[in-house]
Structure 1
């Protein structure tokens, strides 16, 4: 019937838009983060492939099973954390081990609810300050690149700025299109060409190993930022749109998916937060009961993008230095602004948040453990000292 076709078209398109915006806006951040912690280009491409496929399957399973427009996404704050972490003792196998432990912790939040409650007790100001400190170097990268390579980076920033004014939702994807043009011009000048073999998606599996640095410096901070900056806001966004997320099944699906993707280089899967508003909002369909189709559509689109992920990774590899960090940086501007706002919003929590932010932004590593962990510990310690005796008084 014509009416049913129209009603089905809207959520289908909303799902496609959700996946396209989510993938093209932050896949460069994924590759940057994985490369920063020691992945080879092949391993980083494998990680992108694995995490994209798991996201697609997760969307389809949850949306079709519960008839809710649930969207799954990769942990963008988590991969930004990896970009700031740098090399880990034990190399890439230890990083993969950290991914595996993080996935196990996500599963534990489904099996043991008190663990999720414990994460929820971390003050939002501390968690967001840690995230802001991690994001700062990535958000500064576009301006550093503009100085080093103005002809390569300026087109990306100009397109992003104009699109932010005219087409805000598509600003980052269009900035990536500008980066593709820059890459094409660069290749025409150098005479280089894409290797056809590099365009075929392939998995590169790595046996995980565990070190103190990978567990404390990768797994724990990755778990905290994934829960505090993705899963908890994702539930809140869906609740604001009139949906109740089935918490335990969602954590089982995302935790299992994260574990399956870990050995192939995938970092973490979580509930969609920003993308959730696209698929579950009124624009997807006037009838909330029919918006679940958008979740399935988003999942199917992610599966197609997974097949194309190797081509995206190859483009990133050929890009002039500074161009892809510029795309990754502008993709994180909104997340950085939101994290800063939430970190300092409460005057009573401002000092611990500032300390947390500065320690995370410093990039210090002690005993092979990254700055994100020490930022969290320091912020909680400062907060405990400053709040000592207040409740009793």
Structure 2
């Protein structure tokens, strides 16, 4: 029983501009969906169906095959089912047939891979024809009738039993749907035959349709996904606001002084002893940057306006994949570098756009041990 995961991800979006490329936990939504499908261990192929070049590039880099979706299936009115059917037809034309389809929605950033694997197994083993993600709820649901009158939907409004005396309902999350390919082609819908529920945690159920939900998802990522261990082969940091507390004193002669953390110095020495390369990459031209780098005995590139190009060149020269680099920043000039590494990291109190781009937000601020905290997460990994 061969399984294909299909992720429809068009370029347009009304509620959130370029939604499928927006980041949660420092990772684009479409890439998060690809990672979840691959992590399930039950998919033979992951496909991203898209009309957008940038989404295609991100999906392919994450490990998916790209199916180009025609304009007729890329508008607001096109159904997800039509995109899935088109992808299956394209695969058929390429001589690849699949028995089970896992349809994932990139707008659900927290797709539990274990629940997805279980759902695929239920369909592959013949225990179900269609399985969907849902979470348990004991909520009292209400609707409205004519003139706005409230109407109880799933309960008797005159009876208020305790939670433990009630049977739960299940709320569809939209994260994934798994079904037999032949049954889907016949029904042309995701629900048919024997339908079962794949129960997922309630916290993972958020779907992103507006900016507020995107902010909520980022907060959840910081709460549930911030790892204590960061497995990288190199550490690159900004200087001001990272090694310093982002303040400076200037004497009567115009000499500038900054405040740094001795803790960071010890952390850097431990990183150096472990043989893990480190680089300070800064736009600042003040000699204090090089003086501190010399003190720490790490290489420095300062006075750099294009951090992305400088970081790419350094990574290539040292033979280190960008995906295996942690970059620590605090302000908007760090964004280009943060967006290209596998582990974008922000100090506590960083600019909101940096927080949004970060995969990890540290507990400590710049100049107060943030570099040491990052290093302590890198060394055990």
TM-score with structure 1 setting the length: 0.24
Q: Which has the higher strand share?
A: 2
Larger Rg: 2
Ranked by relative contact order (alpha carbons within 8 Å, sequence separation 6 or more), the top structure is 1
TM-score with structure 2 setting the length: 0.24
Q: Which has the higher helix share?
A: 1
